[in-house]
Structure 1
């Protein structure tokens, strides 16, 4: 979603209005309820319990001799008015009043006791009371139940808890209606509501002006870069209650949506520090956001200049070249070449042609990316993936395009393609059906371009020879390094260990009179410990390869990490980890128990961590609640202690280069241990930086 700066009424409008506005707060405290026999006169106010909203009379710049009764947020100003009762019937004087009539209904009266507005509710009795909630809802209660409320009769603002929706039984739409002008609360020419396609539409009279696109459960797909809607204080829910479908905001009193008299929908957020409303987002904010700006079968490119912002879709041409040249795009575009399936008579022949029969090349689909999907889509809920969606459309000659959107499903279009925008970021993939000749023409153009740029044959020969020689040299070097590594490891074998007949120990590098023994464990012992690498013992897979749980003959549980042949890591990382971890001893570093290099296998044996890795907790909704704050703090502290040891306190200064949640292992007491040193790098004692030629890490 594009985030625009705050929007305000033009300064000249504010200045002209200021002279005619009057303060509605009397010096005494405002009333909090109204009962039968009581009235609210011009100059008095009814306040919500916390004083967030007020109900009272006000005048507007275009009606400075008349008065309206409405609800406003906190201190009165025209911009703070969120609901007006008598929009069509302003009181011609300043002597109006609001009262509960003898039948229990709410009425607005002039000084001559003429009724200018009424709630017109069917009531069980005349025992009514009036209250204003802290969400701005004016409620008429009768016999213990709310029989009428302003939220069911919105003006130009959508407040938290207020519903706008489409009644499937009557096709009636509960909508917002703009003011006629910034100074005239009477109904204007713009409305905001829900269409039968469950999209939110902004209409100008009877013509669509802007639409949101479909709702995918998180955001509107027709609003580019719209993040998770709750971040903007807006939540869209679909409630089927008595065959009614409603859209509504979340209960956040600092947010509201307003329909301006200029025909834009605005998302306003209240900041307590400045006690003012900021316009966080507004639409339509550019020409391309206006509904079907370029006509059918055409797209509008966001950010493009006016002469070039409209273009026909691939395979289509302007309906009128003359109108198109002068910037009149309302006629849209028409197909240049008829579809193959349309050239056959009968549905069976059409299906055969679409599938490749009929002796001609079948229709194909052109992919458009990053677009606002067209209006008037049909959703096929039974189709669950993109491939099946494409097959469904290709078999149906009346299907002109399709798209598959997560959380919505397969969307197909059979009618005119209207209101397509090309976004600079965001959007969806869209597959447009075209005759095969459209692709042949494009391929022919590409072929001509390629012929003009033919590469000489001798250049190709040189490049191929260079690549072959380079691959051979690299293979030879790799083979020599691998053989040298095996010789070094075999020469390091010292003695058998007690756990088994094929377990031996090797000495690490000796420095400062100290040595670190890392056992060289035989392959047969590892096979027995893991039950021949049984799938039931598989703990997980990483970049190095699979990790298995095992048990040595002495009963010690181990984690066995086996280098995968498809892994991007190899002998260099294996050697690096064995050498480094032999020199590192710390309670927050995982302990290497041994390694194996038999049968062209590279295997590392670690102490077993029963609670696996940190990512198993923090990214699993069912487990992350098990980490209370003390546990999280201890894990954070332990990781920091391990890094401090690596960076400063160990004999070698080491940077890990692959630190992530999956490389933090947790023991039975949830103590963290840093693992996977295959990509680690040693610093010199006097260095504070180093460089690498290899892209590594997460």
Structure 2
């Protein structure tokens, strides 16, 4: 039978198509372009872990062809970089290859070069590799580890994790991301996003050369003008410095498998999105500026403040009035406000004061001066007649404004405190000066009379107490417990905290002074922020510790009462046991069991003593601290948040058992209470949870965070504040850096 020519022909065609498909799959599986290889329109290369694709595409609604990079496994094509955004190809004959000079080039259907990396390449035998970060990197054959060109350095509209955003303060350089012109046109649009190179780093969106929105300054953790940033991506952003003085930001997601992008849309909106594989869509994490009018840059003009809760939203800062009342009433606030009364900076009598504006977005265009605290920052401002306002922000230090205050926004929560300089008379509101003087004189008279009566009554009452305790010395029973002969009960209930009424042994001040040789240094065990601790030996050779609060201490009577009340009610092997207290005139003392091995930090950070606590002892100490915290949070009658857990507040007994001490800052929580807020943030920086340090929010998680820092110190043997480098500023950053290497 004669062979069927058509059958053989069909067989040959199928064989050719199958082999062509295999070759195409092989090419698309490569993550690189080498000399002699090209990517034609219709072909793609895919990164090693198949996260990104490089190839030709056309935007929706456009027939032009572009070379771009997009996510591989995302349903809707999401382009993150475009090569030839200004020079599209009109047909399907495009070609991406390595040129004769070693650069990566794009040829159109006529073979004309329309785009090139235009880099200095060591050799014409180059290789272009698509990384799993979305970065297209060109390597020269002379040094395969040194990149000649990176797409990350020539970004378009999208910022990706691991990308570096540079700024050079000395040369006022900025690395910007530029929006598309429209959803179907990748050409550079009129909006750009980047780090402002002037002053403290902040993110800015520009419309042409004009500012459209800004994030507020970077404080080391967040941008202070974005109140919700802490909950969204705290610890994701990081500011680094290179040897040439350039600064750059990076962003690392908490979950490395997440697909996250920041991009500037053609409408001037910056968006952060995460890919939701289950729903096949991008979830919006945050966006700026939002539709609210106060998110627009400088909505209310100089010295104006914008508050979305008010109608109209714009108002003048206290001490200022509208620059143009007619325009202001028409809803045109761009002219802003002007001072009602000029400053008297050069007057012999200082008449300038400061109005305290809380929970605001700090103004733009700030200067920085060295200052140790807020008071010194205020003095720096008063010494400069050009200073219009100041702020002291944790992580930034002293900030001073010497020009018009622009772009101030009122927040419902979060934000910073701004002190606006005003003439002293403006600080009293609308009351007349004469009324103020009359009221002040009357009040002073009443206060003086009341104080005199109170002092007399207090002297009589305290005299009775001294007569009761005079010449009495604490005695110890054979069992080691205190007898009631020496003590007088004193009620130390904490106001506002029901169920805390406690009666404690009241020690005699003169006896304690005699036992410590008038509180001499020979009897001193240590000292802290609230005073000194002394060792006292009672009859029967029982040793006790006396914590004498300094008169200048910031710990007041409420904190003192709080500490002894809590310590008296809490009984646990890993908590320091309270024995009594002493109150006499301005003297306040707490008496508790003596800890012969002092505090944990004296072992951890002492090169000569740290060897005494081996791994077995360190684990036992960690376990004991954890048991004490668990008791405070769950097992005691009261639910206690300590708020100041640190190595110096962990005391060690003669067997090196840890005991938590210093409950002056502790707070009692109700049965159903999960968190609380305070305007007075106390504790030790480095141990405080970010939400507590920055916004005053605390809960059991605050103690857990502090315990985590303490645990890292115990394991590493290094103090939390001893870490200072461009890569990390504390032990948390150091651990995160180590984690990234594994």
**Above 0.5 in TM-score?**
yes
Query: Contact 1:543 / 1:569 at 8 angstroms: preserved in 2?
Result: no
Secondary structure at 2:430 match in 1 = helix
Secondary structure at 1:443 match in 2 = coil
Q: Which residue of 2 aligns with 1:292?
A: 298
For the residues of structure 1 that align with 2:147 and 2:271, how far apart are their CA atoms? 30
Q: Which residue of 2 aligns with 1:112?
A: 110
Query: Contact 1:549 / 1:558 at 8 angstroms: preserved in 2?
Result: yes
Query: Contact 2:632 / 2:641 at 8 angstroms: preserved in 1?
Result: no
Query: Contact 2:103 / 2:126 at 8 angstroms: preserved in 1?
Result: yes
For the residues of structure 1 that align with 2:45 and 2:110, how far apart are their CA atoms? 22
Deviation, 1:293, is 1.1
Deviation, 1:402, is 3.3
How do residues 240-255 of structure 1 correspond to structure 2 at under 5 angstroms?
241=244, 244-250=246-252, 253=256, 254=258, 255=260
Q: Which residue of 1 aligns with 2:127?
A: 129
For the residues of structure 2 that align with 1:31 and 1:425, how far apart are their CA atoms? 51
- The answer to whether 1:420 aligns with 2:408 is yes
Q: Which residue of 1 aligns with 2:499?
A: none
**Structure 1 residues 244 and 26, CA, compared in 2 at 3 Å: closer, same or farther?**
same
- The answer to whether 1:165 aligns with 2:155 is no
Deviation, 1:106, is 0.6
**Structure 1 residues 297 and 311, CA, compared in 2 at 3 Å: closer, same or farther?**
same
For the residues of structure 1 that align with 2:423 and 2:585, how far apart are their CA atoms? 57
User: In the comparison of the two structures, how many residue pairs are matched?
Assistant: 608
Deviation, 1:177, is 0.5
Q: Which residue of 2 aligns with 1:81?
A: 79
For the residues of structure 2 that align with 1:394 and 1:564, how far apart are their CA atoms? 32
For the residues of structure 2 that align with 1:219 and 1:74, how far apart are their CA atoms? 31
Q: Which residue of 2 aligns with 1:11?
A: none
Query: Contact 2:354 / 2:427 at 8 angstroms: preserved in 1?
Result: no
Deviation, 1:87, is 1.0
For the residues of structure 2 that align with 1:384 and 1:677, how far apart are their CA atoms? 27
For the residues of structure 1 that align with 2:207 and 2:187, how far apart are their CA atoms? 16
For the residues of structure 2 that align with 1:577 and 1:441, how far apart are their CA atoms? 43
Secondary structure at 1:227 match in 2 = helix
Q: From 304, 308, 315, give the equivalent of 2:310.
A: 304
Secondary structure at 1:214 match in 2 = coil
Select between 538-547 and 39-48 the one with higher mean Cα deviation: 538-547
How do residues 225-240 of structure 1 correspond to structure 2 at under 5 angstroms?
225-227=228-230, 231=234, 233-239=236-242
Secondary structure at 1:191 match in 2 = strand
**Structure 2 unmatched runs, 5+:** 1-22, 488-503, 673-697, 699-742
**Structure 1 residues 596 and 296, CA, compared in 2 at 3 Å: closer, same or farther?**
closer
For the residues of structure 2 that align with 1:117 and 1:34, how far apart are their CA atoms? 16
Select between 257-266 and 40-49 the one with higher mean Cα deviation: 40-49
For the residues of structure 1 that align with 2:114 and 2:248, how far apart are their CA atoms? 30
- The answer to whether 1:186 aligns with 2:187 is yes
Deviation, 1:547, is 3.5
Q: Which residue of 1 aligns with 2:94?
A: 96
Q: From 323, 329, 332, give the equivalent of 1:328.
A: 332
Task: State the Cα RMSD in Å.
Answer: 5.5
Secondary structure at 1:66 match in 2 = coil
Q: Which residue of 2 aligns with 1:636?
A: 626
For the residues of structure 2 that align with 1:437 and 1:567, how far apart are their CA atoms? 33
Over residues 503-556 of structure 1, what are the superposed CA-to-partner deviations in whole Å (9 max), with x where a residue is unaligned?
9967999xxxxxxxx999999986676454324544467999853234568876
For the residues of structure 2 that align with 1:196 and 1:678, how far apart are their CA atoms? 44
Secondary structure at 2:239 match in 1 = coil
Deviation, 1:262, is 1.7
Over residues 615-674 of structure 1, what are the superposed CA-to-partner deviations in whole Å (9 max), with x where a residue is unaligned?
999999x99998855542344346768999x97xxxxxx769787758874324443457
**Structure 1 residues 322 and 539, CA, compared in 2 at 3 Å: closer, same or farther?**
same
For the residues of structure 2 that align with 1:486 and 1:302, how far apart are their CA atoms? 64
TM-score, normalised to structure 1, is 0.70
- The answer to whether 1:220 aligns with 2:223 is yes
Query: Contact 2:354 / 2:420 at 8 angstroms: preserved in 1?
Result: yes
Q: Which residue of 2 aligns with 1:356?
A: 347
Deviation, 1:471, is 9.8
For the residues of structure 1 that align with 2:564 and 2:167, how far apart are their CA atoms? 67
- The answer to whether 1:548 aligns with 2:534 is yes
Over residues 2-28 of structure 1, what are the superposed CA-to-partner deviations in whole Å (9 max), with x where a residue is unaligned?
xxxxxxxxxxxxxxxxxxxxxxx9866
Q: Which residue of 1 aligns with 2:29?
A: 30
**Structure 1 residues 615 and 422, CA, compared in 2 at 3 Å: closer, same or farther?**
farther
How do residues 40-55 of structure 1 correspond to structure 2 at under 5 angstroms?
40-55=39-54
Query: Contact 1:486 / 1:597 at 8 angstroms: preserved in 2?
Result: no
Over residues 553-576 of structure 1, what are the superposed CA-to-partner deviations in whole Å (9 max), with x where a residue is unaligned?
887654345698997389999999
For the residues of structure 2 that align with 1:165 and 1:247, how far apart are their CA atoms? 7
For the residues of structure 2 that align with 1:373 and 1:578, how far apart are their CA atoms? 42
For the residues of structure 1 that align with 2:369 and 2:567, how far apart are their CA atoms? 56
- The answer to whether 1:379 aligns with 2:385 is no
Deviation, 1:309, is 0.7
Secondary structure at 1:235 match in 2 = strand
Over residues 586-638 of structure 1, what are the superposed CA-to-partner deviations in whole Å (9 max), with x where a residue is unaligned?
85575678999999999876543245467999999x99998855542344346
Select between 586-595 and 133-142 the one with higher mean Cα deviation: 586-595
For the residues of structure 2 that align with 1:596 and 1:336, how far apart are their CA atoms? 54
Deviation, 1:130, is 0.9
Over residues 146-199 of structure 1, what are the superposed CA-to-partner deviations in whole Å (9 max), with x where a residue is unaligned?
101101100111112323334457654321011122233222111012333143
For the residues of structure 2 that align with 1:239 and 1:666, how far apart are their CA atoms? 44
**Structure 1 residues 574 and 88, CA, compared in 2 at 3 Å: closer, same or farther?**
closer
How do residues 261-660 of structure 1 correspond to structure 2 at under 5 angstroms?
261-270=266-275, 277-285=282-290, 286-305=292-311, 308-340=312-344, 354-357=345-348, 362-381=351-370, 383-435=371-423, 438-439=426-427, 442-444=430-432, 447=435, 530-535=516-521, 537-539=523-525, 547-550=533-536, 557-561=543-547, 568=557, 606-612=592-598, 631-637=621-627
For the residues of structure 2 that align with 1:588 and 1:633, how far apart are their CA atoms? 10
Query: Contact 1:211 / 1:291 at 8 angstroms: preserved in 2?
Result: yes
Q: Which residue of 1 aligns with 2:157?
A: 156
TM-score, normalised to structure 2, is 0.66
**Structure 1 residues 304 and 578, CA, compared in 2 at 3 Å: closer, same or farther?**
closer
Query: Contact 1:109 / 1:115 at 8 angstroms: preserved in 2?
Result: yes
Deviation, 1:228, is 8.5
Bigger-Rg structure (1/2):
1
